[in-house]
Amino acid sequence: MCTAATYRTKDFYMGRTLDYEFSYGEEVTVMPRRYPLAFHYEGTLAEHYAIIGMAHVAQDYPLYYDAVNEKGLGMAGLNFVGNACYAPEAAAGRRNAAQFEFIPWVLSQCATLAEARALLSELNLTGQPFNSQLPAAQLHWLIADETGAIVVESVAQGLKVYDNPAGVLTNNPPFPQQMFSLNNYMHLSPRQPENLFSAALPLSTYSRGMGALGLPGDLSSASRFVRVAFTRLNSRSGEGEADSVGQFFHILGSVEQQRGCCQVGEDGYEITIYTSCWNANRGIYYYTTYTNRQITAVDMHRAALDGAALARYPIEQTEQIRFQN
């Protein structure tokens, strides 16, 4: 379904894959500071932090899949089908937000992860749909800045907020179970293994990479969680922008989905529709798509951030091949 991760070199990076069998026509969308941001329960914000991210724009409203604000706080919503459970209505004495507006609700008001934590402690998150054609999606969220990451899950027991030291998120099962499953893989290492089986047997390595024998390779969400966590936590790159961005795409490339490997229904196949990476410090949103491996970038600071109208950038879908002769 989807995978999200964070990464830190000289700057802080975050991004995700969107894995699905079809696209909703998403676009890179910049919400400037004076865009009138209407909330279902709390009126309209006339001024707020600017935001850039991937969104489906409906009725001039950006339904963000993932985004980062000008202060460096980022969010990504990932499918959490069967476990997500929202409040049926607004609650007196609480801050109320609908699921569809959760990303801009947080990013428009919070400059840091600490501020987001404080805001979440007051939140009642409802299942109010955007409209009859777009019902509430069953999601959970990764929220992060350069100080750390948390996971937010709205379940039958209420709104849960978890620290996320692994810096990754996929889909089911709930986050505590995903983290617990990493205990099963504590023996994995990027180094070559030693013979701990028995001193009586002359066992030796016969290939590079044997320290990671047992690392899951299938496309299930539980396996992707383990694989991307291992890749992200052992990743090394240069400190520069090109090195950092390139390495981030390689991290998420470890779990991308190819057409034909995950069948959905009779004729559908889940694929990695797009992969995103944003430099949270600089407000630059990078992406690739299934049909265009070229990294494309949108810099939010080149848009009119003091304006009131959305800046929309349709995704570059056509493969770009550079000939050398």
Across-strand partners of 282? none
Expressed in angstroms, the distance from the first to the final Cα of the chain is 39
What whole-number distance in Å separates Cα of residue 30 and Cα of residue 301? 9
* Strand-strand pairing, 292-299 and 263-264: unpaired
Q: Which tokens sit at 85? A: 């459970």
What whole-number distance in Å separates Cα of residue 204 and Cα of residue 264? 42
What whole-number distance in Å separates Cα of residue 232 and Cα of residue 248? 8
Q: Is 2 a catalytic residue?
A: yes
Q: Which among 310, 280, 277, 302 has a CA at the least distance from the CA of 68?
A: 280
Catalytic residue, candidates 2, 85, 110, 262: 2
Is 303:285 a contact under the CB 8 Å cutoff?
no
* H/E stretch holding 204: none
* Strand-strand pairing, 12-20 and 51-58: unpaired
What whole-number distance in Å separates Cα of residue 174 and Cα of residue 177? 6
The alpha carbon dihedral of 290, 261, 245, 12 has a sign of positive
> Hey, which residues are catalytic here?
2
